[in-house]
Structure 1
Amino acid sequence: MSDPFDVDVVIIGAGFSGLTVATELRRDGISFVLLEARDRVGGKTEARHDGLGRLVDTGGQFANDDMTEVLALARDAGATRVDAVHPGRAVTVPPSPDSDPWAVADTLLATLGADDLHDERSVSQWVDTETTTASVREAVRSMVNGGTCNDSRIIPVSYLAQLNQRTVTTNEELQCWFAETMHGLALHLAAPFAHHIRLECPVRSVHVHDASVDVVALDQVWHAREVVVAAPPTAYASIRFTPGLPDDFSTAAAAFAPGTVLKYLVGYSAPFWLLDGRNGVGQFLDPPGVYFADASLLDSPTLVGFVGGTTAAEWARHTEAQRRDAILHHAAAAFGDDALRPLTFLERLWGPDEWGGGGYSNVLTTHAPHAADTLAAGLHLVTFASTELSASFPGYVEGAIHAGRAAARQVVQRLGSA
């Protein structure tokens, strides 16, 4: 192996958490190297060109006014905000006898709080005991499948109660996005220290000593004072830690599971989904986890579609042509046959993978109310940072930034007192 680099901190992972850690360390004059397994920064954000050459978000895209860290970053980057909320009515497929099962389901889910943190039932088991209609139960399952990119039959009630405590929002979840893309914000964040980032450099082992760490990636060993693992909990299994992770820590990490989500960006000649008093939102009770919204920019009418959880896992086994046909026919079921004639079509499958852990983030699929806090507490010379561990907006880019700041504070405090 070549001679090791001497840095204060090795950061593993160049998503928004890792980039935020690097930003904070740079501000405090602490040296670092940032190692990323993929060929790009940004984690679950990504941008690609559509059929007309426009750069569009194929990963995380939306924000709202409660996500102050994302909005501050967008202002710093000079990003152009695009509001995505329109007046009008949403479309429910199939039609429901209830006037708005989604609003009732949302209110029902919002009731989960501190008293439910020890409820070991799954969401499906819980909602079956609630006094409500069949459509509302289907709406709950669809919202949870889509929101967690997993199966409401295994997502514990305690996890949703924890999310409610950590995600305080009064605005629409998909309130706005940025013309220069969310991934563009990651590039902006990374630009000042690009020469400290190593792409396509997966870390395979971390050796922790009394007063230093050795991080091994490819044919390089980095000798550092500390390491920050800014990767989702499911990625820990791909890194060999010496000494091994404590049992309680391994158990906490194993409580998290990856999800599956398909994202579609479909361009048309006109935004027909906004006609006849519609607001561009299409939500499916069956199959669960299918959702459409407007993502148009100026003269580029675009419909964004999401397929999450069990439906996404099923579709992922089909061919690309079959998935294209399926999503277009679902769009037609919501908005009419104009949906069958797109000008551009872009699909991104975010499924379980070694480093990213699927989409949108890792989620708890077993009752483990203290798992995130256990991991966030870290170990000797090892700090963990990812959106899953955030005390605010876990699962979102906002949460990733909060987690990165929290991890950086821990590192700066220890190195400052060393």
Structure 2
Amino acid sequence: MPENCDTDVVIVGAGLAGLTAGRTLHAQGVDVLVLEARDRVGGRTCSMVEDDGRLVEYGGQWIGPTQDRINALVEEFGLTTFTQYSDGGNLQRTEDGRLLRYHGAIPTGDPVVAADLMEAMVELTALAAEVGAEAPWTHPQAAVLDATTVESWIGAQPYCEGAKEWLRAFTRALFPAEPGEVSLLHALFYIASGGGVERMIGVINSAQETRLSAGAMGVSLGLAGVLGDRVRLSCPVHRIDQDESGVVVHHEQGRVRARYAVVAVPPPLAGRLRYSPALPGLRDQLTQRVFMGSAIKTTVVYPEPFWRADGLSGHSTGHNTLTFDQSHPDRAEGVLVSFTDCDAARRALRMSPEERQQQVVAELVSVFGPKAAQPIATYEKVWLEEEWSRGCYTGILSPGTWSTLGPALREPVGRIHWAGTEYATVWSGYMDGAVRSGEEAAAAVASELDMGAGLSESVEAAR
């Protein structure tokens, strides 16, 4: 492919959103080019077969019911799936070191805590439905909800301390960010987009129900396969110019001239690009106030899933950690995945990789017993240090942002449109949200294109 070229639509980012946008437009006869900074597609999904033959899911991995768009792609590409292991009891590690066993989405080991949590889940889900995900800034109490952090809301509730402790852990696991970093309005938007708290945090009939046998990145590989050489890797974009006739996207290997652009990277990264003319002040203020979640994902391998013999599911929650059974049905090994989130993740950045992994193993021992002390392999992904993500799982609008700058999130700027899971109103923050946002961006661009000019050569020849 030449260093400088022309196309109808240039897309920045080959994650699920960018690839979906490209594939959707390509199917309509629009000439597209997708530029990706990494040497792979997939964005915040990252499935790798390591030298030892193990498939390691370093990024997003789960899909579930009502995630219709990602499920449709899984079916289209013939990708096989299996159900997340969830038999047995879950464990809650309290701040005072106790281990409470429970079943289902929320801890039930302490009846007082369970009762309060049920009340909290109902209240949060009802408030989220009231706020909605389409336009949270229009809620009559938007300014108040946006000025209230989740921590302030938790502290003001009449719940017992055990319930408040778990609500804080739930916040860290869901975003991931500290409760004091997230506005209540953003939390309610997020919950609304996912259909309620229980559906977002549970396994069966919930967001963590299903995994892809060959890895979640298989969806991106399928999309990229459709686009072929229209996807260009190792091609970081650094500037976008636009005028009334089109856009020019500058990257490390040259430039692409197009009629429209879709920027399909997280808002904080989109804000780091240079634009000429400069972005409108409201849009730039918005990108300054969106921050990425802090997460480290560590996969720990054992000779067998020993916790199952103890009647445990492998799922546990703690102050700053979350675990699941990550074992693959095609291998006899037992695998636990551990998420280190928020302040704990930021503290862990000061450690060496070996120290971080030793800490994770020590935490697993404190939950699952001495058998967890002897892993046969460990793998980690520090998403905070990923140059082209700068965090995970999603971008978070800081307190005061939705109510003052919310309309700027999804508004195109001239010929530049935006895509990514952060822009979705259904399953925002999830793979399904990324696919939906790509489809919506493609539809918006297609509606603006003059279908009688500037399309692919085949369409031009047909004229």
Q: TM-score, normalised by structure 1?
A: 0.93
Q: Identify which of 345, 350, 355 aligns with 2:388.
A: 355
Residue 125 (structure 2) aligned to one of 110, 114, 121: 110
Residue 176 (structure 2) aligns with? 149
Letter in 2 for 1:368: T
Could you tell me which amino acid in structure 2 is paired with residue 65 of structure 1? P
- Tell me which residue corresponds to 1:225: 259
Alpha-carbon distance in 2 for matches of 1:121, 1:194: 47
The equivalent residue for 2:401 is: 368
> Cα offset for 1:218?
1.4
Alignment of 1:263-302 (within 5 A): 263-284=297-318, 286=319, 288=320, 290-298=321-329, 299-302=332-335
Aligned to 2:409, the other structure's residue is in SS state helix
AA matched with 1:69:
R
Q: Secondary structure at the match of 1:221?
A: strand
**Counterparts of 2:378 and 2:9, CA distance in 1:** 42
Matched, 1:314 2:347: yes
Contact 2:299 2:336 in 1 (8 A): yes
Q: Which position in structure 1 is the counterpart of 2:457?
A: none
1:219-277 CA distances to partner (integer Å, 9 max, x unpaired)?
41211111110111001232111111111111222221012211111111221222333
Contact persistence 1:258–1:358 (CA under 8 A): yes
Aligned to 1:334: 367
Q: Determine if contact 1:372/1:389 at 8 Å carries over to the other structure.
A: no
Moved more, 235-244 or 404-413: 235-244
- Check conservation: 2:65, 2:207, Cα contact below 8 A: no
Q: Which amino acid aligns with 1:363?
A: I
Structure 1 residues 3 and 67: alpha-carbon distance in aligned structure 2, compared to 1, 3 A threshold: closer
User: In structure 2, do the counterparts of structure 1 residues 359 and 254 end up closer, same or farther at CA, with 3 Å as the change threshold?
Assistant: same
| Residue range with higher mean Cα deviation, 167-176 or 384-393 | 167-176
Deviation at 1:29, TM superposition (A): 0.5
For the residues of structure 1 that align with 2:77 and 2:3, how far apart are their CA atoms? 37
Compute the RMSD of aligned alpha carbons. Answer: 2.0
Residue 88 of structure 2 contacts residue 313 of structure 2 at CA under 8 Å; is this kept in 1? yes
Counterpart in 2 of 1:127? 154
How far the C-alpha of 1:324 sits from its partner, in A, is 1.1
Change in Cα spacing, 1:5 to 1:151, as seen in structure 2 (3 Å) is same
1:172 Cα shift? 2.6
Q: 1:343 aligns with which of 355, 376, 387?
A: 376
Q: How far 1:100 moved relative to its partner?
A: 8.1
Q: 1:376 to 1:92 in 2, by over 3 A?
A: same
Deviation, 1:60, is: 0.6
Contact 1:73 1:185 (C-alpha < 8 Å) held by counterparts = yes
Per the TM alignment, residue 149 of structure 1 is displaced from its structure 2 partner at its CA by 2.0
Match of 2:190 in 1: 163
Decide whether the 8 Å contact of 1:372 with 1:388 is kept in 2.
Answer: no
Q: Corresponding residue for 1:215?
A: 249
Structure 1 match to 2:67: 67
Cα deviation, 1:327-362, whole Å, max 9, x if unaligned, reads 111111111111111122111111055531311111
Counterpart CA distance in 1 for 2:241 and 2:362 is 52
Q: 1:90 to 1:31 in 2, by over 3 A?
A: same
Name 1:4's counterpart in structure 2: 4
**Distance in 2 between residues matched to 1:210 and 1:344, nearest whole Å:** 55
Amino acid at match of 2:295: V
Q: Give 1:283 deviation, angstroms.
A: 0.8
Q: Deviations over 1:271-295 (max 9, x none)?
A: 12223332221111x3x3x111112
CA distance in 1, matches of 2:412, 2:13: 16
TM-superposed deviation, 1:50: 4.3
**5+ residue gaps in structure 2?**
101-108, 132-138, 200-204, 453-463
Structure 2 residue corresponding to 1:190, chosen from 219, 224, 239: 224
Which letter maps to 2:390?
G
Which amino acid letter does the alignment assign opposite residue 200 of structure 1?
A: S
Q: Which amino acid aligns with 2:338?
A: G
Specify the code of the residue in structure 1 equivalent to 2:160: T
Greater mean alpha carbon deviation, residues 75-84 or residues 195-204: 75-84
The CA deviation string for residues 156-209 of structure 1, in whole angstroms up to 9 with x for no partner, is: 111011112222164332111111100121111111212011111111111111
Partner residue in 1 for 2:428: 394
Number of residue pairs aligned between Structure 1 and Structure 2? 414
> Do 1:123 and 1:156's aligned partners in 2 also have CA atoms closer than 8 Å?
yes
The equivalent residue for 2:136 is none
CA distance in 1, matches of 2:110, 2:124: 17
Per the alignment, in what secondary structure is the counterpart of residue 376 of structure 1?
Answer: coil
1:303 to 312, 315, 336: 336
Residues 49 and 56 in structure 1, CA contact (< 8 A), matched pair in contact too: yes
Structure 1 unmatched runs, 5+: none
What CA deviation, in whole Å up to 9, does each residue of 1:50-79 have, x standing for no partner? 473122211111111221112221122222
Structure 1 residues 385, 266: closer, same or farther in 2, change over 3 A? Answer: same
The amino acid across from 1:129 in the alignment is A
- Is residue 235–residue 354 contact of structure 1 (8 Å, CA) maintained in 2? no
Name the amino acid aligned to 1:10: V
Aligned match of 2:280:
246
Which amino acid is 1:41 matched to? V
AA paired with 2:439?
A: R
Indicate if the aligned counterparts of 2:194 and 2:428 stay in contact, CA closer than 8 A.
Answer: yes
State the secondary structure of the residue aligned to 2:265: coil
Q: What TM-score, normalized by structure 2, do the two folds share?
A: 0.85
Pair 1:162–1:321, CA change in 2 (3 A): same
**What per-residue deviation string (whole Å, max 9, x for no partner) do you get for residues 368-414 of structure 1?**
22545422121111101111011111111110000000000000010
SS in 2 for 1:238: coil
For residue 111 of structure 1, report the CA deviation from its aligned partner. 4.1
Q: Which amino acid in the other structure matches residue 48 of structure 2?
A: R
The 1:349–1:81 alpha-carbon spacing in structure 2 relative to 1, beyond 3 Å, is: same
Change in Cα spacing, 1:112 to 1:272, as seen in structure 2 (3 Å) is farther
Verify the 8 A CA contact 2:148 2:183 in the aligned structure 1. Answer: yes
